[in-house]
Each structure stands twice: as structure tokens, then as C-alpha cells.
Amino acid sequence: MVYVVSDSVGETAEMVTRAAVSQFNHGHLEIRRVPYLNEPEDIREIVEEAAGFASIIVFTLVQPNLREILVQEAGARNIRAVDVMGPLIEALGTITTTTPRLEPGLMRKVDEEYFRRVEAIEFAVKYDDGKDPRGIIQADLVVLGVSRTGKTPLCMYLAHKRIKAANIPLVPEVAPPEEIFTLPPHRLIGLNVNPQQLVDIRRERLKALGLPADAGYARSERVLKELAYARKVFQRSGCSVIDVTNKAVEETAGKVLEIYHKGERYRSE
């Protein structure tokens, strides 16, 4: 019998144990994982149980006091205890000045954050530029604005903060999805911008595409019409409005996250 003991999930210790057991053609050894051991009394109970079998204990306990208790209790009952994490943490300590955090489950937290970030990035791509209205209900945040107000870069930046954001372009000739009017205000962000700056941005965009810079898309009259329409949608939806004139995406995102998290805290109270 091999007891795999951890103050977290215990996946690391079990993986190492199974790799070692495989060298003995599995040897008909039973492996029992015991996760989330954070109290001395729990450790003593497991050691007492293990004493009733021909067994060893493989463990990943990051708290030094818990490691010490396990080693002492196992030694008193002649049970071999194998520390998977402790020696490596001590060895790393000899080549770095950083103090170990000694916090259980850190690797799992890092993995979860990574996959949430990937999921948010995929979401931002899938629901970019109003491609699919279903994203509105599924999103943590929905960004509204006329063309070239920086909706897509903002959503991608938010995705790296693990926020699933969709964006909807506002065009006077196309009614916005009705779903946006059902969202809480803190989950709906409208982007406004100085008209002349928007004209300049659109003209540069047209040039980059090899199109005439004086096309209707970049004319002042068209820009003013679109911005006026956007303001009506903002007012009807009750969304928070951010002026992105001369703002970097990081600055805009900071304001968006402040609005979002404040709203989430208010709803949870």
C-alpha cells in the first residue's frame, strides 16, 4: 500500500508515485491519495492507519511543521516516508534569495488562471465585432461603440485579465441586439471619442487599405451621425460611458475593470 498525502489536491505526488510504481510493473501496489491534510491530527490518523499495512507514505506538504510531524509520526512506527516537495524547495532556496511562499495548491491555481485566460481570449475572438449575439449573454462584459473606437484591442486586453468580453459595433442603419438592453449596467461599456480624432483614425485606416481617404466612412458628417446614434444607444441601455480620446488601451481597460468589479461587489452584497 502506498499512501499519497498532500495539503493540496495531491496530483503531483500521485503522478510521481505512479511513475515509480510502473518500474515494478505496477507490482499490484494499491495507491491511496489523501488530499487536503492541513491539521496535525489528520496526519496522525493517516499514519496510524498506514501502520496496519506494509506501506510507505509519499507526501507533498509545503508547511514545514506538517512535514516534521509526518516524518516523526511515520518514523515512530517504522514507516518509510518519502518527501517529494521538501528537498526540492530546500535546494531551490540555495540558489535564490526569494523566500518560498509555502502555500498549498499554487500550481493548481496557476494552471486554472492560465486556462481561464486562454478561454477568455478564445471568447473575445469568437464574439468580436458582433459576430454572434449569443455572446452577449455569456460575456462578463460587452463593449459598445462605433467603428475604430478600439473595441477589439480593449476586449483582447481584458481577455488577458481573464475577463470574457464581447463587442458590438454601433451603426445607425442597423439596430443593436436587444440582448444588450437586458444586461446590468456594470457589464455594459460604451466607448465615446472626439469626432475629429475619429475622423483622423478612419482616414489613416482607409489609406492603409489603399482606399480614398475622403470616402464617406471618414467624413465628418458621417462620424457625427454615428456618434450621435451611439449616444442614444448608450442612454437607452444605461451603460457606463468612457471617453477613449487620446487614451491608451491600458488606461481604458483600467477604468472598465474598476466599473466591472465595483458592480460585481455591489451585486454580491
Cell triple for 208:
492603409
Q: How far apart are CA 124 and CA 97, in angstroms?
A: 39
Q: How far apart are CA 269 and CA 84, in angstroms?
A: 42
Convert 84-98 to b/e letters by CB count within 10 Å (16 or more is b): bbbeeeeeeeeeeee
Cell triple for 16:
510521481
For residue 197, count other CB atoms closer than 10 A to its CB.
Answer: 15
Is position 152 annotated in a ligand binding site?
Answer: yes
Cell triple for 213:
481617404
Q: Are strands 2-6 and 56-60 parallel, antiparallel or unpaired?
A: parallel
Cell triple for 246:
487620446
Q: How far apart are CA 110 and CA 232, in angstroms?
A: 42
Q: How far apart are CA 84 and CA 61, in angstroms?
A: 9
Amino acid at residue number 44: R
Is position 148 annotated in a ligand binding site?
Answer: yes
Q: Are 80 and 47 in contact (CB under 8 A)?
A: no
Nearest to 139 by CA among 269, 265, 260, 267: 260
Q: Are 3 and 47 in contact (CB under 8 A)?
A: no
Q: How far apart are CA 216 and CA 33, in angstroms?
A: 68
Is position 190 annotated in a ligand binding site?
Answer: no
Q: Which residues are part of a known binding site?
A: 145-152
Q: Which residues are part of a known binding site for ADP?
A: 145-152
